[in-house]
Amino acid sequence: MTTELILGADIGGTAVKYVVLAAEGDVVAEGEIRTDPADPVDTLRRLAAGVAAALPSGAGRLAAAGLACAGIMSEATGRLGRSPNLPGWQNRDLGTDARAVFRDQGLALANDVNAAAYGEWRRGAGRGATDLVMIALGTGVGGGVVCGGRLHLGARQAAGEIGHTVLDPEGPLCNCGNRGCLEAYAGASGIARRAALLAVTPGAASPAFRSLVAESGQRPDAAALHGLARAGDATAIELFAWAGRHLGQAVANCVNLLDPDLVIVGGGVARAGDFVLGPCRERARGLIMAQESRDVPIVPAALGPQAAALGAAELARDRRGAR
Amino acid sequence: MTTELILGADIGGTAVKYVVLAAEGDVVAEGEIRTDPADPVDTLRRLAAGVAAALPSGAGRLAAAGLACAGIMSEATGRLGRSPNLPGWQNRDLGTDARAVFRDQGLALANDVNAAAYGEWRRGAGRGATDLVMIALGTGVGGGVVCGGRLHLGARQAAGEIGHTVLDPEGPLCNCGNRGCLEAYAGASGIARRAALLAVTPGAASPAFRSLVAESGQRPDAAALHGLARAGDATAIELFAWAGRHLGQAVANCVNLLDPDLVIVGGGVARAGDFVLGPCRERARGLIMAQESRDVPIVPAALGPQAAALGAAELARDRRGAR
């Protein structure tokens, strides 16, 4: 009998990351192809060809594919709605495109952060949980919710938009046009904007911090700021603490509403670790109502940048009842 | 065969409201007894006796009982944790107390607002929904979540504490000690405090509004303020709009996270109807991220003050698999 393999792909604005799982869940291949920003069908064809080329001969037959995509992605209808990172793909029936390429294979479609949450739940930081909230701190901030042992998609497949929780109506302007969203505090672009502001505020930033911001053209990335914090720079440390405190308020709001087993924080900004998560935990603890829930674990994601691809594969595997 | 009846009771700080349902769900009896603030067992005994006396002879046999209780109530363990309205009952194993009284009957225990949400879902404004959020605007503000067609209790049975969503960290002081919680804006006590403040702020309130606040000893109730709003008083109208806008921010946060079929608003303050819900809908629409979800119905509760008792009965009925 041929081994059945499962593809998981994470379709981003510039690249498609993919993994191929064996039936037992081991990763048998992984790779990346370029996203064509204007042509979903060509991208998916090259994905299928790339996967076929990457598999060792005799490895098995592709039995199912999970595709994760940035934007409002309906698992139910296969339609991709608003998708700021894939403007050429949005408002399109991606399910039909995918079926044209992956003909006889079981398909699962999901939003990328929902898929990452699913991946963390199935094989990462959330294994064994019944209820969890994942928050992904990338350029933007997304989220995913597992509720009652199921990925929660919502009535219009739009659940998990935790980046646009308003934390302070007078807060900084967000990419979405509103003020004080979590994303404006804890997304990489919100942190960069705050860093640029600190750098020009007299007395607010260290010389090293000001140089870093200047060298980056006012758009320092989270990794560089993290390096500065690790080196003991007080401005960088306080910047991540500021992001973390606001994240803590959003986490507390989620915990008050859903009381999950744990909260997982992923994405590039989360690589700053306890510089963000320490102040986050402290603020959350002060704002969580039920005493029983104040020690809810707030933990870093475990799967790294492959989380969404792994989650998409797990989703395709579970949807087809392979386990 | 004797008809099987289901009791549902809503245990509040001063009174226990109860309903008795026939197997098909019709209400065959209802009533109220006094809560003994220091003696749960005596209260439950009088409840059982009151119910027996209220039932017409030959009406049937009590087969199950659902008890809803203010506070952090664990359905799983039967333990009542923190309960500001029932201080003499808190940190107590209420399941054992209840089993001592309702010996051979199936028991279900729940937090009162969770029970109200369940009632609205099963037989009120939320019939047919898969996912809903209920917000109860009483003296305090509570909530209940139905997720994936199940009442969502959370990992520590503490889900639904939506009253303590922080909407503005610099906002008014809340009963819980934090600032800017939803409860401080849209709970009856938050509204009364705001009314008292407006009444003493030069130029902020109409003469009729100032008299109402003075006559109430600085604690105007929501019903009186609603009367003033209905009479066209601009200060009272703006006060409810202020509460509604903040409620709208909390609703948007819930919709962004969970994308429910609908949001139900109940409790005494909700009787002000569109004075609260109109501004709530408008604010929520501006803050909901997914276009698909901006028209999420935000509707008043349908069951009135019996919601929690009805929901507790429905919960007991469903838990025992009678349907």
Nearest-Cα residue of chain A relative to residue B245: A169
**A165 close to A174: Cβ distance less than 8 angstroms:** no
Q: What are phi and psi of A70, to 5 degrees?
A: -65, 140
Q: Is the ipTM of this complex over 0.90?
A: yes
A–B: how many Cβ contacts below 8 A? 155
Average pLDDT over residues A224-232: 97
Average pLDDT over residues B61-68: 94
What is the separation of C-alpha A198 from the centre of its chain, rounded to a whole number of angstroms?
27
**A148 close to A127: Cβ distance less than 8 angstroms:** no
Task: Answer whether A247 touches B (CB < 8 Å).
Answer: no
pLDDT value at position B323? 41
pLDDT value at position B1? 58
Say yes or no: B243 and B310 in one domain: no
pLDDT digits 0-9 by tens, B128-146: 999 999 999 998 899 999 9
Name the token pair of A61: 């037959």
Say yes or no: B244 and B270 in one domain: yes
Q: Is residue A187 packed enough to be buried (19+ CB in 10 Å), middle (13-18) or exposed (0-12)?
A: buried
Residue type, B29: A
Average pLDDT over residues B227-252: 98
**B247 close to B234: Cβ distance less than 8 angstroms:** no
Q: How many domains does chain A have?
A: 2
Query: Quick check: A321 pLDDT over 80?
Result: no
For helices A188-200 and A234-258, give the axis angle rounded to 10 degrees. 140
Q: Which residues pair with B74 in a beta bridge?
A: none
Query: Quick check: B107 pLDDT over 60?
Result: yes
Say yes or no: A108 and A173 in one domain: no
Residue type, B129: A
Q: How far is B162 from chain A (nearest CA, A)?
A: 5
What is the separation of C-alpha A247 from the centre of its chain, rounded to a whole number of angstroms?
15
Query: Quick check: A188 pLDDT over 90?
Result: yes
Q: How far is B283 from chain A (nearest CA, A)?
A: 11
Name the token pair of A54: 């990457």
Least confident window among A24-33, A98-107, B299-308:
A98-107
Task: Answer whether A292 touches B (CB < 8 Å).
Answer: yes
Query: Quick check: A80 pLDDT over 80?
Result: yes
When pLDDT is cut at 50, 70 and 90, the band that residue A160 belongs to is very high
CATH number of the domain residue B229 falls in = 3.30.420.40
Contacts of A252 in chain B (CB under 8 A): 166
**B154 close to A131: Cβ distance less than 8 angstroms:** yes
Query: Quick check: A125 pLDDT over 90?
Result: yes
Q: Do A148 and B145 touch (CB under 8 A)?
A: no
Task: Answer whether A287 touches B (CB < 8 Å).
Answer: yes
Say yes or no: B139 and B104 in one domain: no
Query: Quick check: B75 pLDDT over 90?
Result: no
> Which uninterrupted H or E stretch holds A64?
strand A61-69
Helix H segments across chain B? 40-54, 94-101, 112-123, 182-186, 188-200, 207-215, 222-230, 234-258, 274-287, 307-319
Which range of residues forms the domain containing residue B65?
A: 4-121+305-319
Say yes or no: A166 and A286 in one domain: yes
At residue B261, the 3 state secondary structure works out as coil
Contacts of A178 in chain B (CB under 8 A): 286-287
pLDDT digits 0-9 by tens, B112-131: 999 999 999 999 999 999 99
pLDDT value at position B226? 97
Say yes or no: B145 and B89 in one domain: no
Residues with Cβ within 8 Å of B315's Cβ and at least 6 positions away in sequence, in order, are B8, B66, B108, B110, B115, B118, B151
Bigger pLDDT: A139 vs A245 = A245
pLDDT digits 0-9 by tens, A17-59: 999 999 889 999 999 999 999 999 999 999 999 999 999 888 8
Say yes or no: A267 and A144 in one domain: yes
Query: Quick check: A84 pLDDT over 50?
Result: yes
Say yes or no: A177 and A220 in one domain: yes
Average pLDDT in chain B: 94
Residues with Cβ within 8 Å of A307's Cβ and at least 6 positions away in sequence, in order, are A115, A116, A119, A120, A124, A266, A301
Q: Is residue A56 packed enough to be buried (19+ CB in 10 Å), middle (13-18) or exposed (0-12)?
A: exposed
**A293 close to A83: Cβ distance less than 8 angstroms:** no
What is the C-alpha end-to-end distance of chain A, expressed in Å?
17
Bigger pLDDT: A56 vs A185 = A185
Query: Quick check: A322 pLDDT over 70?
Result: no
Task: Answer whether A144 touches B (CB < 8 Å).
Answer: no
Q: Which residues pair with B136 in a beta bridge?
A: B142, B266
Q: Give the residue among B1, B9, B77 at the shortest CA–CA distance from B314.
A: B9
Residue type, A80: L
Residues with Cβ within 8 Å of B173's Cβ and at least 6 positions away in sequence, in order, are B179, B184
Round to whole Å and give the CA distance between B32 and B2. 25
Say yes or no: A204 and A312 in one domain: no
> Which uninterrupted H or E stretch holds A42?
helix A40-54
Q: Is residue B59 packed enough to be buried (19+ CB in 10 Å), middle (13-18) or exposed (0-12)?
A: middle
pLDDT digits 0-9 by tens, A259-291: 999 999 999 999 999 999 999 999 999 999 999
Q: Give the residue among B67, B81, B90, B74 at the shortest CA–CA distance from B10.
A: B67
Q: How far is B27 from chain A (nearest CA, A)?
A: 31
pLDDT value at position B72? 83
Round to whole Å and give the CA distance between B80 and B89. 7
Token look-up 């549902």 returns B8
Name the token pair of A19: 């993994």
**A47 close to A18: Cβ distance less than 8 angstroms:** yes
**B98 close to B73: Cβ distance less than 8 angstroms:** no
pLDDT value at position B105? 83
Query: Quick check: B322 pLDDT over 80?
Result: no
Query: Quick check: B219 pLDDT over 80?
Result: yes
Round to whole Å and give the CA distance between B156 and B111. 12
Average pLDDT over residues B53-74: 90
pLDDT value at position B59? 85
Query: Quick check: B2 pLDDT over 80?
Result: no
pLDDT digits 0-9 by tens, B248-268: 999 999 999 999 999 999 999
Say yes or no: A229 and A297 in one domain: yes
Round to whole Å and give the CA distance between A155 and A288. 27
Average pLDDT over residues A202-209: 96
Round to whole Å and give the CA distance between A95 and A78. 4
**B158 close to A292: Cβ distance less than 8 angstroms:** yes
Round to whole Å and give the CA distance between A80 and A95. 9
Q: Of A96-105, B80-89, B238-247, where does the model show the most confidence?
A: B238-247
Contacts of A164 in chain B (CB under 8 A): 256, 287, 289
CA dihedral over A205, A209, A211, A213, signed as positive or negative: negative
Q: Which residues pair with A73 in a beta bridge?
A: A80
Say yes or no: A48 and A181 in one domain: no
Query: Quick check: A299 pLDDT over 50?
Result: yes
Query: Quick check: B6 pLDDT over 50?
Result: yes
Query: Quick check: A323 pLDDT over 60?
Result: no
Task: Answer whether A166 touches B (CB < 8 Å).
Answer: yes
What proportion of chain A, given as a percentage, has pLDDT over 70?
A: 99
Round to whole Å and give the CA distance between B239 and B241. 5
Name the token pair of B29: 């009896």
Nearest-Cα residue of chain B relative to residue A144: B257
Residue-wise burial string across A238-277, b where 16 or more C-beta atoms lie within 10 A, e elsewhere: bbbbbbbbbbbbbbbbbbbbbbbbbbbbbbbbbbbeebbb
Say yes or no: B151 and B18 in one domain: no
Round to whole Å and give the CA distance between A229 and A235. 8
Task: Answer whether A285 touches B (CB < 8 Å).
Answer: no
**B259 close to A155: Cβ distance less than 8 angstroms:** yes
